[in-house]
């Protein structure tokens, strides 16, 4: 997967902005990516919009998800 230099710079800038705006979340995600997420791990997320009921979903990590994480790690 090749990304042109301009798009890569935009991506890295947006990623740095995200990390600055959400340091606890970025740290949490980074911790688990670095420590290794294994196949069968369940990831759950809840979204609560103002004035609405929370919505929760989850996913069981598959080998293809781990491969995607490895690709993303290689981009950063």
DSSP 47: E
- The H or E element spanning position 46 is strand 42-47
Q: What is the largest CA-CA distance in the chain?
A: 42
> pLDDT at position 34, please?
76
Contact assessment for residue 9 and residue 16, using Cβ atoms and an 8 Å cutoff: no
Handedness of CA 6, 30, 1, 65 (dihedral sign): negative
| Between 74 and 26, the higher pLDDT residue | 26
> pLDDT at position 54, please?
98
pTM beyond cutoff 0.95: no
- Residue ranges per domain, the chain? 5-75
Instruction: Kindly tell me if the per-residue pLDDT of 58 is higher than 70.
Output: yes
Q: How far is CA 49 from CA 24, 53, 56, 57, in A?
A: 19, 7, 12, 15
What are the tens digits of pLDDT across the range 2-52?
Answer: 668 888 899 889 989 999 999 998 888 888 877 778 899 999 999 999 999
């Amino acid at each position: 997967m090749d990304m042109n230099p301009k798009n890569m710079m935009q991506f890295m800038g947006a990623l740095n902005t995200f990390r600055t705006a959400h340091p606890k979340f970025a740290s949490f995600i980074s911790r688990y990516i670095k420590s290794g997420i294994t196949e069968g791990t369940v990831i759950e997320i809840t979204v609560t919009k103002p004035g609405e009921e929370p919505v929760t979903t989850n996913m069981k990590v598959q080998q293809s998800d781990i491969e995607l994480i490895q690709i993303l790690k290689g981009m950063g």
